[in-house]
Amino acid sequence: DPYSTDPPRHPALVINSSKPFNGEPPPALLTDNYITPSALFFKRNHLPVPQIDPDKYRLQIEGLPGGAVSLSLEDLKTRFPKHTVTATLQCAGNRRSDMNKVKQVKGLNWGVAAISNATWSGASLRDVLCHYGFGPEVAAKAQHVQFEGLDRDVTGTSYGASIPLNKAVSEEGDVLLAYEMNGEDLPQDHGYPVRVVVPGVVGARNVKWLGKIVVSEEESQSHWQQNDYKGFSPSIDWDTVDYKSAPAIQELPVQSAITQPAEGAVVDRDMEEVTVKGYAWSGGGREVVRVDVSLDGGKTWHVAELQSGEKGQQPAPPPPPGRAWAWKLWEITIPLPEGAQELELVCKAVDSSYNSQPDSMAPIWNLRGVLSNAWHRVKVNVK
Binding-site ranges for Mo ion (CB under 5 A)? 44, 91, 203-204
Residue 46 interacting partner from ligand MTE, Mo ion, none (CB closer than 5 to 8 Å by kind): ligand MTE
Question: Which residue number, 114 or 254, has a Cβ lying nearer to Mo ion?
Answer: 114
Long-range residue pairs from 225-233, CB within 8 A, at least 24 positions apart, any chain: 225/160, 225/161, 225/162, 228/204, 228/368, 229/92, 229/202, 229/204, 229/368, 229/370, 230/368, 230/370, 231/366, 231/370, 231/371, 232/366, 232/367, 232/368, 233/366
CB of 310 to ligand MTE, least distance (A): 20
Question: Which residue number, 145 or 350, has a Cβ lying nearer to ligand MTE?
Answer: 145
CA dist., res. 78 & res. 73, Å (int): 9
CB of 105 to Mo ion, least distance (A): 14
As a whole number of Å, the CA-based R_g of the chain is: 21
Question: Which residue number, 132 or 159, has a Cβ lying nearer to ligand MTE?
Answer: 159
CA dist., res. 121 & res. 185, Å (int): 9
Comparing CA positions, the residue from 257, 284, 306 lying closest to residue 355 is 284
Question: Which residue number, 168 or 202, has a Cβ lying nearer to Mo ion?
Answer: 202
Residue 190 interacting partner from Mo ion, ligand MTE, none (CB closer than 5 to 8 Å by kind): ligand MTE
SS3 category, 140: helix
Question: Which residue number, 188 or 294, has a Cβ lying nearer to ligand MTE?
Answer: 188
Instruction: Name the closest residue to Mo ion (Cβ).
Output: 91
Spacing of C-alpha 367 from chain mean position: 20
Residue 206 interacting partner from Mo ion, ligand MTE, none (CB closer than 5 to 8 Å by kind): ligand MTE
Residues that bind ligand MTE (CB under 6 A): 41-47, 89, 91, 149, 151, 159, 189-190, 203-204, 206-209
Question: Which residue number, 201 or 349, has a Cβ lying nearer to Mo ion?
Answer: 201
208 CB neighbour count, 10 Å cutoff: 27
CB of 110 to ligand MTE, least distance (A): 10
CB of 202 to Mo ion, least distance (A): 7
CB of 363 to ligand MTE, least distance (A): 24
CB of 268 to ligand MTE, least distance (A): 36
* Conformation bin of residue 315: beta by default, left when phi > 0, alpha when psi is -120 to 50: beta
CA dist., res. 371 & res. 374, Å (int): 9
